[in-house]
Structure formats: C-alpha cells, structure tokens
Structure 1
Amino acid sequence: MSNHTVPVAHQFDDREQQKDASTLGMWIFLATEILFFGGMFMGYIVYR
C-alpha cells in the first residue's frame, strides 16, 4: 500500500473536516427533499 495522501479542497483544513462537511450537506439535502415532497403529497391529499 502506498503512503500517498488524498488531496483536500482548498477551503478545508484536513480530510476529516471535508468528510464532515459532505456528510452535513447530504443530511441537509435529504431534509429539504423530505420537506418538499412531504408538502407536495400533503397538498395532493388535501386537495384530492
């Protein structure tokens, strides 16, 4: 196995910070999708 390090994007200090930011971003995305589609389904049920 090689000892080469994975480069991180310039706005992050280390790999852990980059991973935490991407995990938070995914959770925020999932939450907004749940709110959006939940609202659409509720609107459909109410006006059906």
Structure 2
Amino acid sequence: MTRIHLHAPTFSRDIEIDAVDDLIEAEGLTWLREGEVDGVPRYVPAAAG
C-alpha cells in the first residue's frame, strides 16, 4: 500500500491505495496527480487540473 494526499479547497486527507497512477478514483471523485509534498504523492480533483 502507498500513502497519498488528496487535496481540494474543502477537503484534505491522506489515504492508502494499492498503486500510484496519474489518475485515480477515490472518495467519489477522479483525482489528478500534482507532484509530491514531503515525498508523498499529492492529488487534486481532476476538474481543478
């Protein structure tokens, strides 16, 4: 499992996923990878990218 960070204006959470990809489905949304913060992949909602 890999820890990632989901970040949106009203939402911020670290979750564990099986595989890191550029696009993931989590918490009912599609998330787009936007770099790393302190070595943890950071994702934002795909619509915001």
**Does TM, normalized by the shorter one, top 0.5?**
no
Greater RCO, CA 8 A, separation 6+: 2
Richer in strand (by share): 2
TM-score (norm 2): 0.18
Larger radius of gyration: 1
Richer in helix (by share): 1
TM-score (norm 1): 0.18
